[in-house]
Amino acid sequence: MSASFLPADWPFVVLDWSLFIAQLFLGLAMACAAYRLILGPRAQDRVLGLDTFYVNAMLLLLTYGIRVASTIYFEVALIIGLLGFTGTVALSKFLMRGEVIE
Amino acid sequence: MIDIELAFENLPPWAALLTAFCVFMGAFLTLTGSVGLLRLKTFYERVHAPTLGSTLGTGFILVGSMICFSVLRGRLSVHEILIAVFLTITTPVGFMLLVRSALYRDRVEGNDNVPEGNPTPGKQSAPDAAVQQD
Amino acid sequence: MRRFMAHLLPYPLLSLAILIMWLLLNQSVSPGQVVFGSLLALGGAWGMTTLGQETPRIRRPLTILWLGVIVFVDIVRSNIAVAKIIFRPGSRRGTPGFMAVKLDMRNPYGLAALAIVITSTPGTIWTNFSSASGILLIHVLDLQDEAEWVDTIKNRYERRLMEIFE
């Protein structure tokens, strides 16, 4: 299976790099969401950014859990996911009332 | 830093490659969705972008996690399904409420190209290119 | 006996879902967890009765499975389509817009399922539904052929959901 020019443990090197790149990607994705969260331009854009930020943070935590081969982070990811939903619903409902028209 | 080789030494090579593929694809799709949040021009276009991360992006990473932990522990690890089920139910509800409140705000502010209260099917609605440029 | 069962288990599917959720969270099927999860399931369903919702009648398990496969394929396809739109330069990005569809379905559970299907497919979002006129408003990212979207919603999703819920 392994060619002579590859080290014997090459699948693990691939996994190591893939997890590293995935964490980098998710970090960048969180930065994109943070841009919308901070700069808007409108209130609904900020709420959208916050929701995306939550989902990306949840995925980053899951990826970190795989990287350290531990399932402790699973429950935390679950709670982050559910809190993100609650936040989005509450903020949308708040915008719907029309009390924060800029 | 945590020693990766130590944690994964019991993983067979095929499972390592499969996990690597799933996690990479999931992260790539999530990044694509978040980049769309930056690149698309109006709010109503931007709402579509994060759905990428919350459907297939999450799905890939959860499948990767299931493969990795099922093989590592030698028994089926299926509690990732919980996150998938919760996310598929909650994300649409959140986005629906958000779009509805955005529509309400656009109507109150009197912006153009937002459909009126009673739309009729068949009539092509105006493309919302000019709703709110940033 | 039937009335007694309906009283004890007003929402059997909800109870089953709560039990499965509990067992998945604890990652065990030991007798103690099963008993505790069952108590939780009974209590949860009993709490739901105070909301006074009618019990959904769900039929045709094969149609449910087939609909699940269709939705999964559509999610994969529209993920690729939306990713292409995002990476395209701004001038050639197509026309997003709202469109209205007339629905025949009135069952609230069926409508909820349709809302989740439409919104979790990237590229379409359920915006508003008027139960008086039966007109649904959705926003589409790539609104090139409105008739095709109407066909997808009515013949691919709504027809099957009506078979399942009505």
Q: How would DSSP label each residue in C14-79?
A: HHHHHHHHHHHHHT---HHHHHHHHHHHHHHHHHHHTTTPPPPP---HHHHHHHHHHHHHHHHHHH
- How many Å is the Cα radius of gyration of chain A? 19
Asked whether residue A100 carries a pLDDT value surpassing 70, the answer given is no
| Pair of tokens at residue A30 | 């969180």
How confident is residue C59, by pLDDT bands cut at 50, 70 and 90? confident
Best of B38, B45, B89, B93 to disrupt the C interface (most C CBs within 10 Å) is B45
Query: Tell me, what's the pLDDT at A4?
Result: 62
Mean pLDDT value across residues A30-39: 92
| Pair of tokens at residue B41 | 């021009």
List the 68-107 stretch of B: residues with Cβ below 8 A of C.
77-79, 81-82, 88-89, 91-93, 95-96, 99-100, 103
Q: How would DSSP label each residue in B96-117?
A: HHHHHHHHHHHHHHT-TT---S
Query: Tell me, what's the pLDDT at A15?
Result: 87
Asked whether residue C48 carries a pLDDT value surpassing 70, the answer given is yes
Instruction: Tell me the domain boundaries of chain B.
Output: 11-109
- Residue type at A32? C
What residue ranges of chain C are covered by domains with CATH 3.30.1370? 61-165
> Contact B37/A48 with Cβ under 8 angstroms?
yes
Query: Tell me, what's the pLDDT at C30?
Result: 87
Give B49's contacts in chain C (Cβ within 8 Å): 82, 86
Per-residue pLDDT reduced to its tens digit, C110-160: 898 999 999 989 889 998 888 888 888 889 888 888 888 888 888 888 888
Q: Chains meeting B at 3+ CB pairs closer than 8 A?
A: A, C
Number of domains forming the structure of chain A: 1
Chain A: closest CA distance from residue B129 (Å)? 16
Task: Report how far residue A49's alpha carbon sits from residue B74's, in angstroms, rounded to the nearest whole number.
Answer: 39
Q: How would DSSP label each residue in A34-82?
A: HHHHHH-SSHHHHHHHHHHHHHHHHHHHHHHHHHTT-SHHHHHHHHHHH
How confident is residue C25, by pLDDT bands cut at 50, 70 and 90? confident
Q: DSSP code of C121?
A: S
Nearest CA in chain C to B76: C27
Chain C: closest CA distance from residue B61 (Å)? 15
C135: number of Cβ within 10 Å:
17
- Is B40 within 8 Å of C86 when comparing Cβ atoms? yes
Give B29's contacts in chain C (Cβ within 8 Å): 79, 83
Query: Tell me, what's the pLDDT at C142?
Result: 84
- Is B32 within 8 Å of C100 when comparing Cβ atoms? no
Q: Is position A61 within any domain?
A: yes
- Residue type at A95? L
In whole angstroms, how far apart are CA C113 and each of A28, B121, C19, C65, C140?
Answer: 33, 21, 22, 14, 19
pTM of the model: 0.85
Per-residue pLDDT reduced to its tens digit, C89-108: 766 677 888 888 888 888 88
| Pair of tokens at residue B75 | 């028994």
How confident is residue B30, by pLDDT bands cut at 50, 70 and 90? very high
**C146 — contact with chain B (CB < 8 Å)?**
yes
Per-residue pLDDT reduced to its tens digit, B84-93: 889 888 999 9
The fold for domain C61-165 equals: Ribosomal Protein S8; Chain: A, domain 1 (3.30.1370)
User: What is the domain extent for residue A88?
Assistant: 10-96
> Contact C124/C140 with Cβ under 8 angstroms?
yes
Q: Is position A15 within any domain?
A: yes
Distance of CA C99 to the CA centre of its chain: 20
- Is residue B2 left, alpha or beta, with left meaning phi > 0 and alpha meaning psi from -120 to 50? beta
Q: Is position A101 within any domain?
A: no
Instruction: Specify the residue for token string 């399931």.
Output: C41
Asked whether residue B1 carries a pLDDT value surpassing 50, the answer given is no
Task: Report how far residue C28's alpha carbon sits from residue B78's, in angstroms, rounded to the nearest whole number.
Answer: 11
